[in-house]
Amino acid sequence: MDLHSTPKTTIVIFGATGDLAKRKLFPSIFNLYQAGKLSEEFAVVGLARREWSNFTLREVVNESISSANDDLIEKFCKHFYYLPFDVTRNDSYINLDKLLKEVEDVYGIPGNRIFYMSTSPEFFGTIASNLKAHQLTETKGWTRLIIEKPFGRDAASAEQLNNEISQAFSEDEIYRIDHYLGKDMVQNIEVIRFANSIFEPLWNNHYISNVQITLSETLGVEDRGGYYDTSGAMRDMVQNHVLQLVSLLAMDPPIRLTPEEVRHEKIKVLRALKPVATDNASEYFVRGQYIPGIMNDQEVPGYRSEESVSPKSITETFVAGKLQIENHRWTGVPFYIRTGKRLESKTTKVIIEFKNMPLNLYFNGEKDTSNLLSINIQPVEGITLLLNGKKEGTSGEAVPVQLDYNNKNDDISSTPEAYERLIYNCLLGDATNFAHSDEVLLSWKYVDPILKAWQSDKVEIAEYESGTMGPKASDDLLAKDGNHWWPVN
Ligand code: NAD
């Protein structure tokens, strides 16, 4: 991240008493402040229903930060203001207008405002139209909107939400958060691809056999069962994070690194995705649900016994799929994706499997000889390349050798967290790592027919034991093509 100090700004957080604000937003803003990336003239206005005071909010902010520098924390917390707020009430917006003008006076902020929607998605539209109605977006500076996922629950609702927020904000003022796009290694995908002449010539269907993307979690639904049961892995992970990764991996090189050019290339990939029809969704997509199992020597419950989950739920906690991109570069190369909860390991990893040599001189036909490029996103960050070399002491036997470039743990702890990076980008007006409305809509249009097939229990929901890498049907999906999942641990 370049070290630019940000413009004088007020950040308005709707839902300041919530989980996201406390766990991610306050610590991220503090880290920017501590690193000298935030202008001294900034204010944060927290809004939520609770009758808190500035003092209560400052205490909560203080608790959310881990730093030994108490003086700095105290100085930082003084920039926080709280207003009890109901998103549906006019007087709330009138009070907000007054408070914003006051804090802008205190810090000499020229009307630059970020409105951060960290509240239940059902309120996003209401907030946007009220901001417009009360002229809170009409200032002498700039105004921007940061909006959290989920962005709709299908193409129709996403389009409606877009229409609502675009009454108050233009597309270039809207920053749709996909926190995967804030991760260092995700941003590194473009650098690896476009700054190394050894990869780009091979990055196509002449040399790549298949691409495998795994986003696995060990946790179950924890205390989010109520929300998750209405969402599922397709909406929670595939429509946004997985498809964003697919588009970064498959896009053509942009002519410039501007938000418009990068998004243009990503959108072309999403447009080239071969649609999956509702009738044959099962041929390309597998859904699964976790049942009890042993993890870390402890028995864990199945999904249907989790708190706030229906005992008859058919919500998927696992998805595996085969995506096809129909363009010159990718036709014939399957992009296999899988994501799920209560899996064996917490990993985000992309594996590019290259085609084998046409004539195999060194292996006896039983061993895998494929060259693999792994892009490790978490928990380890870096890349690994699997090559073949001569086995020492033999006359001509080959063995796989691994080249690693992975960040050590101490490097990772000093790399900025995704939210920190994204808030910083928004303060600087750089929308490259946020999702454009076209990307969101195209992604929904791709997953909608599959979700439609899964609305009833007629399509099998494959059970998988907690602590495994998903149902057998996920392995079968690749086996049909003569492929298999490469280990991710
Ligand atoms: P939360 O339920 O913990 O907090 C919601 C906040 O909205 C609270 O501050 C609450 O007071 C406020 N609120 C509710 N009704 C209101 C009203 N009528 N007027 C004013 N304020 C009202 O939710 P959260 O986990 O912080 O999530 C916030 C948003 O971020 C959601 O859209 C969620 O989907 C998204 N998100 C959360 C996480 C996470 O890790 N928590 C991750 C990704 C996305």
| Torsion-angle region of 59 (φ positive above 0: left; ψ -120 to 50: alpha; else: beta) | alpha
Q: How far is the CA of 401 from the centre of ligand 1 (A)?
A: 47
Q: Is the CB of 118 under 6 A from ligand 1?
A: yes
pLDDT by 10s per residue, the chain, length 489: 445 678 999 999 999 999 999 999 999 999 999 999 998 999 999 999 999 999 999 999 999 998 788 899 999 999 999 999 999 999 999 999 999 999 999 999 999 999 999 999 999 999 999 999 999 999 999 999 999 999 999 999 999 999 999 999 999 999 999 999 999 999 999 999 999 999 999 999 999 999 999 999 999 999 999 999 999 999 999 999 999 999 999 999 999 999 999 999 999 999 999 999 999 999 999 999 999 999 999 999 999 999 999 999 999 999 999 999 999 999 999 999 999 999 999 999 999 999 998 887 776 655 667 999 999 999 999 999 999 988 888 777 888 899 999 876 555 455 678 999 999 999 999 999 999 999 999 999 999 999 999 998 888 899 999 999 999 999 999 999 999 999 998
Binding-site residues from annotation for NADP(+): 15-22, 49, 86-87, 149
Q: Which atom of ligand 1 is nearest to the CA of 124?
A: 32
Q: Is the CB of 49 under 6 A from ligand 1?
A: yes
Residue 399 buriedness (CB in 10 A; 0-12 / 13-18 / 19+): middle
Number of Cβ within a 10 Å radius of residue 304: 18
Distance CA 439, CA 171 (A): 12
Q: How far is the CA of 122 from the centre of ligand 1 (A)?
A: 10
Q: Which atom of ligand 1 is nearest to the CA of 227?
A: 34
Q: Is the CB of 18 under 6 A from ligand 1?
A: yes
Q: Is the CB of 86 under 6 A from ligand 1?
A: yes
Residue 47 in 3-state DSSP?
A: strand
| Catalytically annotated residues | 241
Q: Is the CB of 418 under 6 A from ligand 1?
A: no
Binding-site residues from annotation for substrate: 179, 183, 217, 236, 341, 346
- Cβ distance 181 to 455 under 8 Å? no
Distance CA 330, CA 273 (A): 10
Confirm whether pTM is higher than 0.75.
Answer: yes
CA-to-CA separations, 373 to 127, 243, 333, 404, 446, in angstroms, rounded: 45, 20, 15, 10, 27
Dihedral (Cα; 306, 312, 318, 324), 10-degree rounding: -160
